[in-house]
Amino acid sequence: MIPFNKPHLTGKETHYIYDAVNTGKISGNGKYTKLCHDFFLKRFHFKHSLLTTSCTDGLEMASILINIKPGDEIIMPSYTFVSTANAFVLRGATIRFVDSRDDHPGMDEDKIEELINEKTKAIVPVHYAGIACNMDKIMFLSEKYNLFVIEDAAQAIDSYYLNKDGIKIPLGSIGHLGVFSFHETKNIISGEGGLLVVNDQQFKNRSEIIWEKGTNRSSFFRGEVDKYGWVDVGSSFLPSDIISAFLYAQLEELDQIQKRRIEIWNLYYKELSECCKANGIRLPMVPEYATNNAHMFYLVFDSSNLRSKVIEKLKEVGILSVFHYLSLHKSPFYIEKHDGRTLINSDRYTENLLRLPLYVDLQDQEVLQITHTVREILNG
């Protein structure tokens, strides 16, 4: 039996949790939260990090920070997780969904500008499968129309954008704000968990306030005010230090985790590329301006029937593969609110994309078993 995902443990998680528990400080913003924030600064030069209880919560913080009000419009892909949209819908925004690219499930950067109007407040690019959107195009539109950019980097830890000068810029650090997920299905995990990265320093102080339930508690502990009180809206966005302790153990092993995931990804690619090309099945595309963090290995079939057949046949031999998002513009919640445009690529990925097992503890032998089975199904 090969599951679709299996959370990988570095071995230090429970050790650090034990330490956190025994320090007696297990609410938010403790020792391990600070260690994680320091890690993000050193490793990715994230100037201002705030761990959150989920990536969803990071998106909600972003939505509050840019002052979303009823009637504001947000541009994002339809082929994404519900939280990308819900965080803004909760504040009253209308979502203008963009189609996916023909060659990649990420949003088509050339179809954004036509949706911009005086109500548009922000663009939310989702780095699907950890693969960068074309951030030059998006940041150009941001500057031209004075829009915020919030990078949904849920799947994009340790993934980079290669700018025109060939410099690697960590995803999540390019837009005004960026968010990451540490849900157990991601490369780096803490069960549930997330991160808000504040790149535009105008948001720095307020992000701390919103994180601390709308109080100026952080200022109080820095000695800047003599008591703290209610100064803004906010929520309890900060995770227990138990969660941060787990996360820190994972971050310490980031290089090893990434190395192994990339090996697996490359093995999949090598074993499947010839057969897939012969059968008109698309493999993941990595543009020249993006790096690959091996978050996901997927195939895009030319019909949903074939996808269903592959899922079934793999399941028969104990291999679990899964499809991914359902177009949000066609969801029960939004279909009546959507402006009616057809988004053919988003629907195509909804119908035809298949994800294969990819986790650190997946053995080469298992990958070969999976790829052998896939080839048999396709050629048979």
Catalog residues that contact a copy of itself under the rule CB under 8 A: 6-7, 9, 13-14, 17-18, 21-22, 24-28, 53-57, 60, 64, 70, 81-83, 85-87, 89-90, 183-185, 189-193, 213-215, 227, 229-236, 238-243, 246, 326, 328, 331-334
Cβ distance to a copy of itself smaller for residue 243 or 354: 243
- Please state whether beta strands 160-162 and 168-170 pair in parallel, antiparallel, or not at all (unpaired): antiparallel
Minimal CA–CA distance to 103: which of 358, 353, 379?
353
Q: Which is nearer to a copy of itself, 276 or 296 (CB)?
A: 296
Among 167, 181, 227, 195, CA closest to 80: 181
CA 378 remoteness from chain centre: 31
Rounded least distance, CB 271 to a copy of itself, Å: 26
What letter would DSSP give residue 330? G
To the nearest whole angstrom, how small is the minimum distance from the Cβ of residue 53 to a copy of itself? 4
Phi and psi dihedrals of 160, rounded to 5?
Answer: -135, 155
Active-site residues, by number, are 186
* CA distance to 85, 107, 109, 219, 316, per residue, from 125 (Å): 11, 7, 9, 32, 37
Q: How far is the CB of 34 from a copy of itself (least distance, A)?
A: 15
The DSSP H or E segment spanning 124 is none
Phi, psi (degrees; rounded to nearest 5) at 181 = -115, 140
In sequence order, the β-bridge partners of residue 2 are 319
CB of 135 to a copy of itself, least distance (A): 26
> Can you count the helices (H) and strands (E) in the chain?
12, 11
Output the smallest distance, CB 213 to a copy of itself, in A: 5
Nearer to a copy of itself, 18 or 140 (CB): 18
- Residue with Cβ nearer a copy of itself (98 or 135): 98
Instruction: Answer yes or no: are the C-beta atoms of 83 and 106 closer than 8 Å.
Output: no
Quick one: 50 or 189, whose CB is closer to a copy of itself? Answer: 189
